[in-house]
Amino acid sequence: MTRKEAQSLARLMSVAKGNTGQSRLVANFLLSWWNAEECGGVALNDLWGLDDTLRIAVQTVIGFIARKQIYPDSLGLSEEFDQLIKTWRPNLRPPSTWEDFSPTDGRIYPARLINYGNAPGYRDINLHLVIKDDEGKERQLEISLAARDAIDVMHHVIAVNRTAWSGSRPIDAIEGETRPAWVDR
C-alpha cells in the first residue's frame, strides 16, 4: 500500500466513525468493500454527496482495492470494520461477536461462502462464511487457512467431486449442471 493509499484509507476510516451524512456515505463505501452482499453495495451517485477531498480518497482506495484484490481484514482492519458494522448496520452481527455461541462437539453446521480474501503473493486464504448455529441463527465466521492447509482442502474438494462425478451424476447436482472439466485434471 502506498503512502497516499494508506492516508486515504485512514481518512475514510476516520470519517466513517462520525455521525454526519458524509460519514454514512463513506461507511457505505467501506462496508461494501467488506461484504457487499451482507452490508449492501454503494451507489455511485453517493459520491455526489462527498466533498472533493473525500471523493479523491474514495477513488484512491478503489484503485488500491482493484490493484491488490484484498479485503480489509487482510490489512488488519477487522476490529475497525466490526465497529462500523455495529454503528451503521446494527441489525447485523459483526463476525467477532460470538460470546453466546458454543459449538457442539461433533455437530456439523450448514454454511455458505460469502467471500474470500487473499493477499497477492501469499498462499494463505481467508474464507468468510455464514453458518447456522444450534438455534438456527446465522452467524458470520472467518476461517484463515495457512498455505499447506489450503492445499490440503483443495485436494479434498477435488477428491470429493471426482468421487461424486464417478457415476452418472452427483445426488445433489442441480438441473442442467454438467461435469466440471477440472474434475478430470
135-174 confidence digits (pLDDT tens): 777 777 777 787 788 888 888 888 888 888 887 788 888 8
Chain segment 29-81, per-residue pLDDT in tens: 998 988 887 788 788 888 888 899 999 999 999 999 888 888 887 788 888 88
Confidence of residue 99 (pLDDT cuts 50, 70, 90): low
Pick from 163, 169, 162: which is nearest to 184 by CA? Answer: 162
CA atoms within 13 A on the CB side of 173: 15
Q: What is the DSSP letter of 60?
A: H
The C-alpha atoms of residue 145 and residue 56 are separated, in whole angstroms, by 35
Assign 96 a pLDDT band (cuts: 50, 70, 90): very low
CB atoms within 10 A of CB 16: 23
CA distances from 90 to 25, 86, 94 (A): 16, 5, 9
Give me the amino acid identity at 102. Answer: S
Q: Where are the domains of the chain?
A: 3-88, 148-185
